[in-house]
Amino acid sequence: MKRQLHLNLFLHSHGHHEASWRHPTSSPLPLTDIRYYLDLAQRAEAALFDSVFLADQLALGGDVAQAPRTWLEPITVLAAVAMATSRIGLIATASTTYTEPFNLARQFASIDHISNGRAAWNIVTSWLATAAENYGGAGQISHADRYVRGEEFMEVVKALWDSWATDAVIDDRAIGLYARRDRIRSINHRGDYYTVAGPLNMPRCPQGRPVLVQAGSSDTGRRFAAQHADAVFTAHMAKATAREFYADLKRLAASEGRLPERVLILPGLSPMIAGTETDAQRLAREVNDLTDSEVGRKRLSGRFGGHDFSHLPLDRPLSPVDFPDPASVQAARSRTEVILHLVRRDRPTLRQLLGYLAGARGHFVTAGTPEQIAELIEDWFIDGAADGFNIMPPLLPAQLDVFSAEVIPILQRRELFRTEYTGTMLREHFGLPWPTSVFDDMAWKAELQEAVAGV
């Protein structure tokens, strides 16, 4: 079969544009109303998206006076969405820095059971500096240390998910045997950061382990993704950097002994779509006119770990010296590099840069007709920049509906996207194998021993 695209819907606020909530087409439901998320997930499932995704930050943003974000805790939302859908994959963000591996392993295994095999975890180390103030107040752990801790965290959660064999539960009520004790193992982990005895207090989940998603793009982030991620989210403002990222990550995955096609790369795409290009651009301008540049300035400051941009005039072309060196930034380092790449290339004014970032915070923003958007998707897909896309509609639900009704059918006609779900689990949508566990290895060894003994 022809290689096909994967599409994830990134649910965020009333749309990814910073001013989406003020636009007349945005949903009237507040972001604390679960019906808002259920409705969007059902629309995405009807359009055959692979998955929906919720991001998360562990502190209130400094721009709350002028900007609603996604408020409900994502894992909790997924439990509700799981009950209102049956096929679509469910991805939630959770932090390796600010939780314990045992908690997280239970939560995602639970979502996988509740959804019959549709759960995925977006692994983040949490870049937002103010989050540290809500978790002990000892200050933000450095970028490098967050990843070192994350590595050990991964070792523990994987061991916990593997601590039950698939066939551990017998549930034989007549003889009174619930589980085979020899098919459940402690993990006895003792490391620099975590001490966890295990096993997990829950049977192995339908997908074996939840699907693992990652979105770090710094050098350390890329190595982490190459080792652990089944799917990788990434932000690019140009196809050239997306291609460079794609090639590098596939190479790194291969050097980890993994099949590169089993690490899906999904760059963000925020398309404003209308019947004509002029109408799409007019709509984009209309939403942009609702933004407040002081909100943008605060967000930019957050991206650069709190750097002060208040003295910069709005209308003079920017230069790289107006920004701190990305290597010194302890927040989302790769996004600062994306921004600096744009500044070097286009020399925008601060007003122009903030206008662009208002669209989708540093992801690829475009406005066009359904044909133009489908063309762009196909071009990135066949030209080594993407295995699919993280679709970030600027206005929700309006621009999701246009994408589903107008762009997806073009992709389907070109045989680039599914016309029905062929599986029920997210692993199947993503074309991923089932993870093997220590028990599979034991079963395989036992079979081998029997065969050898037979000879």
Ligand X SMILES: Cc1cc2nc3c(=O)[nH]c(=O)nc-3n(C[C@H](O)[C@H](O)[C@H](O)COP(=O)(O)O)c2cc1C
Q: Which is nearer to ligand X, 101 or 221 (CB)?
A: 221
Q: Which helix (H) or strand (E) holds 91?
A: strand 89-95
Binding flag, residue 27, ligand X (CB under 6 A): no
Q: Which is nearer to ligand X, 93 or 437 (CB)?
A: 93
Binding flag, residue 268, ligand X (CB under 6 A): yes
Q: Which is nearer to ligand X, 102 or 389 (CB)?
A: 389
Q: What separation in angstroms does the CA of 423 have from each of 6, 41, 117, 286, 389?
A: 14, 18, 10, 41, 20
Give the contact letters, 402-421, x = binds to ligand X (CB under 6 A), - = no. --------------------
Structure tokens at 445: 């060894």
Q: What separation in angstroms does the CA of 64 have from each of 159, 200, 253, 445?
A: 39, 38, 39, 57
Within positions 112 to 131, which residues make up the interface with ligand X, using CB under 6 A?
Answer: 124, 126-128
Q: Which is nearer to ligand X, 61 or 384 (CB)?
A: 61
User: What is the total count of residues that contact ligand X (CB under 6 A)?
Assistant: 24
Considering the complex, what minimum distance in angstroms separates the CB of residue 214 from ligand X?
7
Considering the complex, what minimum distance in angstroms separates the CB of residue 201 from ligand X?
27
Q: Which is nearer to ligand X, 25 or 57 (CB)?
A: 57
For the chain, the C-alpha Rg in angstroms (whole number) is 23
Q: Identify the residue whose tokens are 């009333």.
A: 14
Q: How many CA atoms lie within 13 A of 412 on its CB side?
A: 14
Q: Which helix (H) or strand (E) holds 364?
A: strand 364-368
Q: Which is nearer to ligand X, 183 or 361 (CB)?
A: 361
Region from 163-171, 284-292, 302-310, 328-336 binding ligand X, contact rule CB under 6 A: 328-336
Considering the complex, what minimum distance in angstroms separates the CB of residue 89 from ligand X?
15
Counting other chains too, the contacts that 74-81 makes at CB distance below 8 Å and 24 or more residues apart are 75/107, 75/108, 75/111, 77/34, 77/37, 78/54, 78/111, 78/115, 78/119, 79/110, 79/111, 79/114, 80/34, 80/37, 80/38, 81/37, 81/38, 81/41, 81/52
What are residue 339's phi and psi, to 5 degrees? -65, -45
Considering the complex, what minimum distance in angstroms separates the CB of residue 445 from ligand X?
38
Q: Which is nearer to ligand X, 164 or 224 (CB)?
A: 224
Q: Which residue is nearest to ligand X (CB)?
A: 221
Within positions 158 to 187, which residues make up the interface with ligand X, using CB under 6 A?
Answer: none
Binding flag, residue 4, ligand X (CB under 6 A): no
Crossing angle of helices 277-288 and 350-360, in 10° steps, is: 100
Give the contact letters, 37-76, x = binds to ligand X (CB under 6 A), - = no. ------------------xxx-------------------
Within positions 207 to 266, which residues make up the interface with ligand X, using CB under 6 A?
Answer: 215-218, 220-221, 233-235
Q: Which is nearer to ligand X, 163 or 234 (CB)?
A: 234
| Distance from C-alpha of 421 to C-alpha of 443, rounded to nearest angstrom | 32
| Distance from C-alpha of 31 to C-alpha of 33, rounded to nearest angstrom | 5
Considering the complex, what minimum distance in angstroms separates the CB of residue 366 from ligand X?
17
Q: Which is nearer to ligand X, 85 or 217 (CB)?
A: 217
Within positions 332 to 391, which residues make up the interface with ligand X, using CB under 6 A?
Answer: 332-335, 390
Region from 80-88, 106-114, 329-337, 408-416 binding ligand X, contact rule CB under 6 A: 329-337
Q: What separation in angstroms does the CA of 288 have from each of 230, 316, 319, 357, 396?
A: 35, 19, 23, 10, 15
Q: Which residues bind ligand X (CB under 6 A)?
A: 55-57, 93, 124, 126-128, 143, 215-218, 220-221, 233-235, 268, 332-335, 390
